[in-house]
Structure 1
Amino acid sequence: MGAPAAEDVAHALRALADPLRLRALSLIAASPTGEACVLDISELTAVSQPTVSHHLKVLRDAGMVTSERRGTWVWYQLAPEHRDAVRAVLQAFAAVDARPTGTVPDLDRHLDQVASDLAPRYPTIAAARVRDVVRDSSTALARTSGLGVGLVNLTERFARQRLDDLVRIEGGTTVPRVLFVCVANAGRSQLAAALLQRYAGDTVLARSAGSAPAPAIHTHVRPELEALGADGFPKPLTDDAVRAADVVVTMGCGDVCPVYPGTRYEDWAVGDPALASPDGVAAIRADLDTRVRTLLTSLTRSGAS
């Protein structure tokens, strides 16, 4: 290696030598769309947006990422000339990713098997992209809930949902979709999705997500979900889930949901069951039941328009 090349590599390595920058690159590399904005990285790393912007500028100045402004947000992608090198570095050190040690033996092998099993079900999506979705889903779930030995199974379920979203975005399905979003995805949004799915059957697809998912479903909510035949688990909100939805219903999660033209948005003022008694949860379910029935009637009448 000549002196100029060594200087370039050293400059790049200095830019990488920061935990937040490595996490930002990892999030960008694992994104199904190959890009992320400051808001995405800020929410997933719990770091302020100005701090994230500073570190992304360092990476951009070092030539590691490129950026593109669209609307009010700047989107960052891996620089084409460094994409393979960055992915190789991240993959080489994947084993030190923060997750419960020893709880899932051979996790990488299990995730590769999940990706291999899912790829034939989604022929319109490149196998490499399927693998990225599986890996990103595993990281997101492990980060928020420490799922231990159940991680692989729930990763497969979450990845399937995300791949279904990608197919819908590409125009592959026409069944109306409703996305319920709350903060923890451990109570209100789970109940609302279960109720809608029960009443709508296969005429509507109901999903739920959280802006800051809890480790598990709230204790008093789980029996209600089981009574509805639902087996939910907290999962993070993704941009593709919003893009794939015809209707997005938010419940106390603020302005974290991106807004897309053509998508119908509603905000429901519903009680939080996190600290509610069993009777309180029953009252919340009754409130949601009424709202869900009204929503389903409007979907039937207007075709989710």
Structure 2
Amino acid sequence: MVLAPPAAEACDRVDAASAIDAPTAQAMAPALKALADPLRLRMLSMLAASPTGEACACDLAELADVSQPTVSHHLKVLRDAGVVASERRGTWVHYRVEPGMRPVVAALVDGLRAARVDADPSWSRGQGDRELVDVDAKLSHVARRIADATPDLSGDAVLRIVRESYASLARSSRISSHLLVLTERFARQRIADVLRDRTAGVPHVLFVCVQNAGRSQLAAALVEQRSGGAVVARSAGSMPAAEVHPEVRSLIDELGVDGDPFPKPLTDDAVRAADVVVTMGCGDVCPIIPGVRYEDWQVGDPALASPDGVRAIRDDIARRVDRLLAELSPAS
């Protein structure tokens, strides 16, 4: 008896149209190829960690024991790929990461480092933990708890803020089990911003960077620690990361401030509640609100810095914070 071969199982087809188109992939490939070298990654780290956001070719040459032509070759690859820009001043050429590439480079390098270097093998980063479940009942419970303590805002308004807060944090959070706790903290902060009377109370400062995972978190923690509550500090990101950089979290822990920092998206209410908005490498993302003072601090990016570089960035921010506090709250 001859048995018929089993029928072939049909695979789940995926529409090829879901992939990026060939011209887009072709345009993206040179930048990704340019980043695929250890020395170039270190060069980008040095540029990002610099307080001015740039470095001379002679400084970059000290990163490795290679010839000057080799250094020039690597810098040319990064420049040709549109990752860095150069400017000749006298006999030396200075380099900086192209403004449009800074968030891309920071997100890519930091994400890869977290996945390949800093990762805990026992911590699954799969999509299973991120599956969103029906949490509307739990969000409603959180909203009722907040509304009971916030009589100046309607229950519907509180529920809307809670739901918006959950949705915005869910876009970048890795572990969904933490979302409800973070949502309540974020919603309470947003409501406090909405209800703030700008004519009374202590000054408010808002620090904004791209990922809200490094510079802005450090600055807010330093204000809280050094002002002793005489100034309220907030932080936010134009494109929030999933978590605070490990090196930055360690430095914040050393400050002994209360609370567990987490990246948060920028909201208009946070800007309206601030007396001073300090941008830190995020470009023109902040809405312009009359009566709010704006500053831009050119400080290094901890995302691409070494541990020593992160501490140097912390010290730079601390000096700037001290000057700001002397203006806003001399007694502190």
TM bucket, shorter chain: 0.5 to 0.7
Partner of 1:156: 184
Partner of 1:285: 314
Q: Which amino acid aligns with 1:268?
A: W
8 Å contact 2:198–2:273 — kept in the other structure? no
Unaligned stretches of 5+ residues in structure 1: 1-98
8 Å contact 2:129–2:174 — kept in the other structure? no
Partner of 1:270: 299
Q: Considering fraction of residues, name the structure with more helix.
A: 1
**Following TM superposition, by how much is the alpha carbon of 1:219 offset from its aligned partner in structure 2, in angstroms?**
1.8
Q: Which amino acid aligns with 2:321?
A: V
Q: Does 2:197 align with 1:187?
A: no
8 Å contact 2:173–2:179 — kept in the other structure? no
Partner of 2:280: 251
- Aligned partner of 2:204 among 177, 190, 201: 177
**Following TM superposition, by how much is the alpha carbon of 1:207 offset from its aligned partner in structure 2, in angstroms?**
0.5
8 Å contact 1:184–1:211 — kept in the other structure? yes
Partner of 2:155: 127
Q: Which amino acid aligns with 1:239?
A: D
C-alpha distance in 2, partners of 1:186/1:301?
29
| 1:171/1:248 CA distance change after superposition, 3 Å | closer
What's the CA shift string for 1:108-148, capped at 9, x where partnerless? Answer: 22111110100021111111000000000000000122331
| 1:173/1:125 CA distance change after superposition, 3 Å | farther
Using structure 2 for the length normalisation, give the TM-score: 0.58
Q: Aligned to 1:220, what secondary structure does the other structure show?
A: helix
Q: Following superposition, which runs of at least 4 residues in structure 1 exceed 6 angstroms of deviation?
A: 99-102
Q: Which amino acid aligns with 2:188?
A: R
How many residue pairs get matched? 204
C-alpha distance in 1, partners of 2:308/2:129?
39
Q: Does 2:252 align with 1:225?
A: yes
C-alpha distance in 1, partners of 2:162/2:152?
16
C-alpha distance in 2, partners of 1:126/1:289?
40
Query: Which structure exhibits the higher relative contact order, with contacts defined as CA atoms closer than 8 Å and separated by 6 or more residues?
Result: 2
8 Å contact 1:180–1:208 — kept in the other structure? yes
Partner of 1:241: 270
Unaligned stretches of 5+ residues in structure 2: 1-126
What's the CA shift string for 1:228-248, capped at 9, x where partnerless? Answer: 234210010000000000000
C-alpha distance in 1, partners of 2:132/2:255?
31
C-alpha distance in 1, partners of 2:148/2:324?
35
What's the CA shift string for 1:38-65, capped at 9, x where partnerless? Answer: xxxxxxxxxxxxxxxxxxxxxxxxxxxx
Q: Aligned to 2:261, what secondary structure does the other structure show?
A: coil
- Aligned partner of 2:144 among 116, 131, 137: 116
Partner of 2:226: 199
| 1:250/1:149 CA distance change after superposition, 3 Å | same
Q: Does 2:323 align with 1:294?
A: yes
C-alpha distance in 1, partners of 2:328/2:163?
35
**Following TM superposition, by how much is the alpha carbon of 1:301 offset from its aligned partner in structure 2, in angstroms?**
4.9
**Following TM superposition, by how much is the alpha carbon of 1:277 offset from its aligned partner in structure 2, in angstroms?**
1.0
The structure whose Rg is larger is: 2
8 Å contact 1:182–1:252 — kept in the other structure? yes
Q: Does 2:169 align with 1:141?
A: yes
| 1:102/1:211 CA distance change after superposition, 3 Å | closer
Identity score, percent: 57
C-alpha distance in 1, partners of 2:281/2:238?
10
| 1:234/1:295 CA distance change after superposition, 3 Å | same
| 1:222/1:161 CA distance change after superposition, 3 Å | same
